[in-house]
Structure 1
Amino acid sequence: MFGRKKPLRAVDDVSFAIGQAESVALVGPSGCGKSTLARMIVGLDNASKGDMVLAGRAYNGANLPNALRRDVSLVFQDPFGSFDPHLTIEQSLGEPLRLEKLVSPAQRSARLHQAVDAVGLDPQMLQRHPHEFSGGQRQRLAIARALVTRPRLVVLDEPVSALDMSVRADVLALLAQLQADFGLTYLIISHDLDMVRAIADRVLVMEAGQIVEIGEPNQLFASPLHELTRKLVEARLPDLV
């Protein structure tokens, strides 16, 4: 009763690779370790064992080399909480460019304009504050912020779960277009199988910190092998007729 609790392994012996311009989805129930794994990949948390490898360089989390930090971007789940309300959009979107010491003011301005234009918004919006935008616009701006360093890998943590159904399709179409235009590589954290089916090339199913099944979306959801995958498929809302 009063003994020591067994340590919890949030991520346990997980191993996978993502190819250039591939879109990989990581799905599973809440608390299975998806977000912990994402935070380690982008350098926010440390792995107690093992390494991540990006462009041939190994790291275990927060020791992600400065030279590679610009190559990994994270889009947070909450479009309302991911911006400092006191900063203009220009200031918020420009923060990642601190990783690039040689970017001149003119180049910085051009990068910001290009990123905002790429997500279908007007660069004149850069002078406004976050509260002046809808949830869908804020998520587009969060994606723009992730693009300003021209990353190799973009990690998207539940990128549409906080959005109204009416704008989810627009954001997913935008992600697909950006991947086609810029050759982006995506790791998408989600529990939304419909979203995953629409955008992912490959799906990893996670349970209790471990990858328990891997496959292409159509094959995986049509003929799931693992019990958790079957439960996730069965829990989907039926299509409206």
Structure 2
Amino acid sequence: MPTTFRQHRKQDDPVLTVDFTRFPLAPGDRVLDLGCGAGRHAFECYRRGAQVVALDQNGEEIREVAKWFAAMKEAGEAPAGATATAMEGDALNLPFPDESFDVVIISEVMEHIPDDKGVLAEMVRVLKPGGRIAITVPRYGPEKVCWALSDAYHEVEGGHIRIYKADELLGKIRQAGLRPYGTHHAHALHSPYWWLKCAFGVDNDKALPVRAYHKLLVWDIMKKPALTRVAEQLLNPVVGKSFVAYATKPHLPKAQA
């Protein structure tokens, strides 16, 4: 089990969307990974010594995340004091008291949810004053190409229902009472892959261009060559697949006596 887990980690690390050099965690930080999916950010937070809650409405994925948390603990991948919990839940009705978390991460989730303002309000509610939040969504330009190439890419149950412009998302973040402090783009090498998927059929993994590009991505993830790392850094501002925003919840002024 430990060997398999380390292989899993090696695959996950390079595809983190949140940049933890810009969004540092302290050991003991209480972190909510909202809409955690397969758990890539939750695993990284756990490895960094946080007290992590990974929440998703997909029970099957949550069960898998729980298994990987257990494997991580068994493999000694988490430092002393770190904790990890995987649970099912509703992003619009979080089962936590106010001001429960130091950090909230929501990655590639808000584009799926009709009431995105409601999700933001819930995140702000459970975030402590002075706490930090990381929000990632598909970037406007690359996402528009995907939508133009394929209706099946977005017209599916639970699929993407909107495309955010950066200013629109930042405006909603401010309206929710948060203060943005940084943005960037990520995963430029993944944009052409999804354009190919949309062009040849989102469920058609046998198309030669799709298979060839997928092999390139797997090679990049496993080997981490300097050439593709530098190329992606240079291309991220132009065709990065994801837009990432970081914000803080301000401390409210103390009430006058």
TM-score normalised by length of structure 1 = 0.36
Q: Which has the larger share of strand?
A: 2
Greater relative contact order (CA < 8 Å, ≥ 6 in sequence): 1
